Amino acid sequence: MHEIADILLDWSKTIDRDLPWKQTDDPYFIWLSEIILQQTRVAQGTPYYLKFIELFPTVQHLAAATQEELYKAWEGLGYYSRARNLHASAKIIADEFYGKFPSTYDDILQLKGVGPYTAAAIASFAFGEDKAVLDGNVFRVLSRLFDIDTDILSSQGKKEFQLIVNELLPRGESAEFNQAIMDFGALYCVGKTPDCMFCPLQQHCLAYKNGSVHERPVKKKSGKKRHRYFHYFVLGLPQNGDNDTYYLVEKREDKDIWAGLYQFPMIENQNKLKHISKIECKDAFDISIIKEPELIYETEQTLSHQIIHARFYQAELSNTHSIVSDNNNNNNTSDYKLLTEQNLKALGFPRVIRKFLDDFLLTE
Ligand code: SF4
């Protein structure tokens, strides 16, 4: 075990993986990077990390942000529950801990949205606590080194691999070791093309010896994704006296994906191809529109357990009196807001809608 850790530590000195959050031992920055990188590739997450530390340089800044500001900064990353958890935890740290980040694994684990991996990463990188991390890269390296065929998504698998990595962890060098084994999985012992021939761990690698490298790790496929059909209504109201068109938007509710983000009024049904009529639109939203809605754009987005098929229909509102109380400000008490194209740019939207806005509505 010691020899494997030593080889990994030596190997890590030969690489240059200069990621911005590796330059700091500030637990707030490490926490931000770890939450942003959950379910997100490094190349995609890095600009978000840089944006967040600029917009919210301390945990107090993050705690003081409005949900709108936070969602706008988070837009495009998906899994918005991560942003909500960040915000909730930042407020707790700012209010109840006087802005001081918790400093032990057990305390960090109490933060919302922080699981064993993230708590171990922060505790080891920021505070040097002897806690071993277990992420997808570490699972892959261990499953090959020890030729383990237990499903890494099962609770049994998680326990088994955690015990092994705990054994491997050299005491007093947790930050260096955790970084080394994650980098080794990300850069060397990669999924499809690991360079086994020249691998410094080849002599210790049971999967290499047994010819099972490409069968490790074992990951049982989860069930089929659910298909959902969202029909969005881009309802515009050309204003007298100015050239702006105003669009109707609403905030999504808490109980479904993308809670707290904005959307055009939407009907969900079970049939992608079914065209939604003017009458259905009136029934669903209690809104009168001129002419039948016209289908103008289609796209889709794949989430972890769902595939969203989105259709966008354009139509003109006949009047707004029953819809919004004050159509020119953001403080209206109605559920709907009427906003100009310029105002739309400042809101947080799900990726399918942002794509529509970028490709179609806000092209100039
Ligand atoms: S020999 Fe191949 S499979 Fe084994 S640790 Fe090295 S790169 Fe990974």
**Ligand 1: which atom is nearest the Cα of residue 205?**
4
pLDDT for 328: 43
The parent domain of residue 173 ranges over: 2-134+159-187
Distance 209 CA to ligand 1 centre (A): 10
Residues 163 and 256 in one domain: no
Mean pLDDT per segment of 10 residues, for the chain of length 364 residues? 92 86 91 90 92 96 93 86 92 92 95 93 96 96 96 92 96 96 95 95 96 94 84 81 80 83 90 76 80 87 89 82 47 66 86 88 66
Q: Rounded to 5 degrees, what angle do the CA atoms 264, 265, 267 make? A: 125
Active site residue 167: no
Distance 171 CA to ligand 1 centre (A): 24
Q: Indicate which CATH number applies to the domain containing 95.
A: 1.10.340.30
Residue 195 lies in a domain: no
pTM: 0.71
Q: Write out the two tokens for 38.
A: 């959950």
Residue 196 lies in a domain: no
Q: Indicate which CATH number applies to the domain containing 315.
A: 3.90.79.10
Instruction: Return d(Cα 143, Cα 152) in angstroms, integer.
Output: 9
- Does residue 205 line the site of ligand 1, with CB under 6 A? yes
Residue 45 lies in a domain: yes
Q: Write out the two tokens for 311.
A: 């259709």
Residues 167 and 286 in one domain: no
- Does residue 217 line the site of ligand 1, with CB under 6 A? no
Residues 272 and 167 in one domain: no
Residues 174 and 245 in one domain: no
Residue 193 lies in a domain: no
pLDDT for 139: 97
Cβ burial, residue 112 (10 Å; 0-12/13-18/19+): middle
